[in-house]
Amino acid sequence: MCGLFGIFGVKEAANYTYFGLYSLQHRGQESAGIAVYNGKKIKEWKNIGLVNEVFNEEILKNLPGEIAIGHVRYSTTGSAILQNVQPFCINFAKKTMAIVHNGNLVNAYSIRCNLEEEGHIFQTTMDSEVIVHLIVRNLKKGLVEAIAETMKQIKGAYSVLLLYDDILIAFRDPWGFRPLALGMLNGGYVLASETCAFDLIGVQYLRDIEPGEILVINKDGLTSYYPFKKEKINKSFCIFEFIYFARPDSYIFQKSVYPVRKNLGKNLYKECPLEADFVMPFPDSGNYAAIGYSQASGLPLELCMIRNHYVGRTFIQPSQRLRDISVKMKLNPVKEIIKGKEVIVIDDSLVRGTTSRNRLKSIKEAGAKKIHFLLSCPPLKFPCFFGIDFPSSSELIAAKHSVEEIRKYLDINTLYYLSIEGLLDAIGDLRNKVCLACFTGEYPVEVDFSFRKNIAEV
């Protein structure tokens, strides 16, 4: 869970990157950073915090240049410490390199152990640092060849932007787990995890970086390299980007997210047509599927869980006694609408079940007569090793409990999960090109079970 932004050949590159990262903030709220090539070397600024906490006008003024990369981070490997904030920058042999990475490598731990045995010294506990070590190690073969070699060694999810002095390079794993789009602005080029970052600054979308592609951007323009044979390209786009993660105004894998989420709701109605007084989402994650269900069923849509938009990250962990406060701080039900009604509540997913249980309890306390809870994805039973921050199987409620057991735990009248077929139908032509491992346990890449969140842990 991270957001990437890169820009080449545009004045005030750092300012544009700042705005780009702002619109990708939903992909990571832990830290933010920008690295800029100023004509001589790469300068960076990064810190723990939200984009607007890390940067101000003064800081951006001190990052002049026309080539930049930026990152917002939600750690899925490597703990949330300053050392692990990206871009990860290094100086070596009179060169400077900076990298930003979205995704998880599943074999980073074993590669790191081998490199350490050979004397490599690591500065962070991020899997992304392994990529830099492998590239530098192979650099005598030339930059593109060094990246190609690295891509053949690392396994898992990686959408990467690399700044090597005045060259900007984008590369993506052959499964294409995480998105990465290319656009044009004022004769220069822009790269971003999601196209919502393009809309904000007026970038014209050109295309996605292909799974397995290396795209080099320099003063001569764009050059693509494809180091993998066709049969090694096995498109496995992350389905959870559509279900929950990406912004609904983005195009992901060349498909608009909003209509897919609405289709999920329509398919929920096809599979589970219920009678009730109205449909309501848990905002914002359930909004679009709830619209789809309401339109398909003809039932009215009510937005009667009110979200406090000013709750960012909460620093005070309330005691058990104050737990209700923490739930209601984010979402508070409108009693006047809910009292005495039979309601269909829609959300995108159930992970641990704890948040939903408290939210459903508050709807009951608001006076709902009956609660039917529908989820616009199938039961999440298996952990993700490719960049979505799910807990281990032991914490995923659907991994250990039947739907009926979960319904009882949630203390509601009906619980229904969308089927895998309903999910695939909603994404149409991409149905054979998605990773469904969190539902099926069938991982497109063999997972090295020595994988751990903090790869330096023993």
Residues of the shown chain interacting with ligand AMP in the complex, contacts defined by CB under 6 A: 244, 282, 285, 347-356, 388-390
Q: How far is the CB of 38 from ligand AMP (least distance, A)?
A: 37
Q: How far is the CB of 77 from ligand AMP (least distance, A)?
A: 14
Residues 6+ away with beta carbon under 8 Å from 230: none
As a whole number of Å, the CA-based R_g of the chain is: 23
Between helices 143-153 and 128-137, what is the axis angle to 10°? 130
Q: How far is the CB of 194 from ligand AMP (least distance, A)?
A: 16
Strands 204-208 and 251-252: unpaired
Q: How far is the CB of 286 from ligand AMP (least distance, A)?
A: 7
Strands 237-238 and 434-435: parallel
Please, which residue, 282 or 382, has the CB nearer to ligand AMP? 282
Residue 223 identity (one-letter amino acid): T
Please, which residue, 174 or 378, has the CB nearer to ligand AMP? 378
Residues 6+ away with beta carbon under 8 Å from 16: 7, 10, 68, 185, 190, 201
Collapsed DSSP state (helix, strand, coil) of residue 162: strand
Please, which residue, 134 or 350, has the CB nearer to ligand AMP? 350
Please, which residue, 35 or 377, has the CB nearer to ligand AMP? 377
Please, which residue, 191 or 346, has the CB nearer to ligand AMP? 346
Please, which residue, 69 or 388, has the CB nearer to ligand AMP? 388
Q: How far is the CB of 245 from ligand AMP (least distance, A)?
A: 7
Please, which residue, 380 or 427, has the CB nearer to ligand AMP? 380
Answer for the pair 361, 410: CB distance below 8 angstroms, yes or no: no
Collapsed DSSP state (helix, strand, coil) of residue 267: helix
Catalytic residue among 2, 304, 377, 438: 2
CA dihedral 191, 197, 200, 202 (to 10 degrees): 20
Answer for the pair 385, 451: CB distance below 8 angstroms, yes or no: yes
Collapsed DSSP state (helix, strand, coil) of residue 84: helix
Left if phi > 0, otherwise alpha if psi is -120 to 50, otherwise beta: which for 291? Answer: alpha
Q: How far is the CB of 133 from ligand AMP (least distance, A)?
A: 29
Q: Is the peptide bond before 448 cis (omega within 30 degrees of 0)?
A: no
Secondary structure (DSSP) of 12-65 = SHHHHHHHHHHHTGGG--SEEEEEEE-SSSEEEEEEES-HHHH--HHHHHT---
Active site (annotated) includes residue 2: yes
Structure tokens at 113: 């152990």
Q: How far is the CB of 234 from ligand AMP (least distance, A)?
A: 24
Residue positions annotated with a catalytic role? 2
